[in-house]
């Protein structure tokens, strides 16, 4: 499903930041005292929260833990496996 | 506790409809060295880990494997979604279509259903972590075999991402093994 350029751009940005968070998570699990890594992780989390809030406000929930107008927004299509990500590739 | 995030870890995409690679992708969906095996193996082994770093690594990598399992399913779904039964039969996916339709059922590339006998959890953290290191290497090899079997640029890009994750996980498990060994050595001194 084509979700339009604006939404796809912001979703891809969010996915990149979430992936960065996963990488820092695994690295910090085995290097819990690395202060430089911790600073970069904390910086990334700030950027991530910012983009996540903007995405959810504009396009719909990423998790079910957000307030919703009626009807319940969580069930709206598309689900992640239905989105066409290949634009620009 | 887990919570679903309505996004993929990687923007899985396919260029065309390479049904033959769809059939082969089941190796990483429900095969011995699949993402499913990896996820359930690590999440089963974490309870007996002796140090916080190891409990975290098994929890976090186990969780990431489930995200990879979803990426593999997405590739298969995107390829077979618009295929006709005739096309599926011609690509060797007839038995899968007859038994499961276009649902993504956890079986391997030959149709053998996933089984917990692919994995082990034996309490000994050294033994468990060695199995995990081997699992990451085997999964990397399966990804290399899969990449050799298709020309679809989207499938290759997505599989290349997943292959890299196997290497990162291998690195983290190696560090975890060293931390556990150091901990066990320290314990012996007392």
What ipTM does the predicted assembly reach? 0.96
A19·B9 Cβ contact <8 A:
yes
> Do A80 and B70 make contact, defined as CB atoms within 8 angstroms?
yes
Integer Cα distance of A69 and A55 in angstroms:
16
Shortest distance, CA B169 to any CA of chain A (angstroms): 8
- Find the length of chain A: 89
CA-based nearest distance B14→chain A, Å: 8
Distance from CA of A61 to the nearest CA of B (A): 7
Q: What is the pLDDT of residue B185?
A: 95
pLDDT < 70: residue spans in chain A: 87-89
Report pLDDT for B109.
97
Share of chain B above pLDDT 90, in %: 97
Chain A residues with at least one Cβ partner in B under 8 Å: 11-12, 14-15, 18-19, 22-23, 25-27, 29-32, 60-65, 74, 79-81, 83-86, 89
Q: Determine whether the interchain pair B6/A61 forms a contact, defined as Cβ–Cβ distance below 8 Å.
A: yes
Helix crossing, A5-30 with B153-189: angle to 10°?
A: 20
Q: How many CB atoms lie within 10 A of CB B63?
A: 15
Domain ranges of chain B: 19-113+121-189
Q: Which two tokens stand for residue B33?
A: 């060295």
Q: What is the pLDDT of residue A89?
A: 54
From the CA of B83, how many Å to the nearest CA of chain A?
A: 16
Q: What is the pTM of this model?
A: 0.97
Residues 6+ apart with CB under 8 A from B94: B85, B88
DSSP A28: H
Inter-chain residue contact B6 with A29, CB threshold 8 Å: no
Indicate the residue of B60, B64, B77 with minimum beta-carbon distance to A81: B77
Give tens-digit pLDDT for B37-47. Answer: 999 999 999 99
Is B13 a residue whose pLDDT tops 80?
A: yes
SS (H, E, C) B132-157: HHHHHHHHHHHHHHHHHCCCCHHHHH
What is the CATH code for B19-113+121-189? Answer: 1.20.1260.10
What sign has the CA pseudo-torsion B153, B156, B162, B163? negative
- Burial grade of B182 (CB within 10 A; 0-12, 13-18, 19 or more): exposed
């Amino acid at each position: 499903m084509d979700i339009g350029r604006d939404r796809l751009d912001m979703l891809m940005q969010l996915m990149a930041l979430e992936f960065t968070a996963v990488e820092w998570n695994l690295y910090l699990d085995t290097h819990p005292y690395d202060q430089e890594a911790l600073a970069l992780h904390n910086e990334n989390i700030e950027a991530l929260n910012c983009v996540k809030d903007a995405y959810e406000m504009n396009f719909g929930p990423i998790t079910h833990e957000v307030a919703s107008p009626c009807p319940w927004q969580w069930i709206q299509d598309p689900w992640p496996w239905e989105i066409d990500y290949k634009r620009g590739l | 506790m887990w919570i679903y995030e309505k996004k993929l870890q990687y923007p899985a995409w396919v260029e065309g409809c390479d049904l033959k690679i769809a059939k082969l992708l089941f190796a990483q969906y429900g095969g011995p060295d699949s993402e499913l095996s990896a996820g359930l193996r690590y999440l089963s082994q974490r309870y007996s880990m002796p140090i916080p770093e190891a409990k975290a690594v098994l929890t976090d990598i186990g969780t990431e494997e489930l995200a990879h399992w979803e990426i593999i399913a997405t590739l298969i779904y995107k390829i077979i979604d618009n295929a006709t039964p005739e096309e599926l039969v011609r690509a060797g996916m007839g038995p899968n279509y007859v038994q499961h339709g276009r649902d993504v059922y956890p079986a391997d590339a030959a149709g053998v259903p996933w089984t917990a006998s692919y994995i082990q959890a034996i309490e000994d953290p050294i033994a468990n972590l060695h199995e995990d290191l081997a699992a990451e290497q085997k999964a990397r090899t399966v990804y290399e075999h899969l990449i050799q079997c298709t020309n679809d640029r989207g499938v290759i890009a997505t599989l290349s991402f997943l292959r890299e994750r196997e290497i990162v996980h291998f690195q983290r498990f190696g560090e975890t093994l060293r931390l556990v060994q150091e901990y066990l050595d320290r314990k012996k001194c007392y």
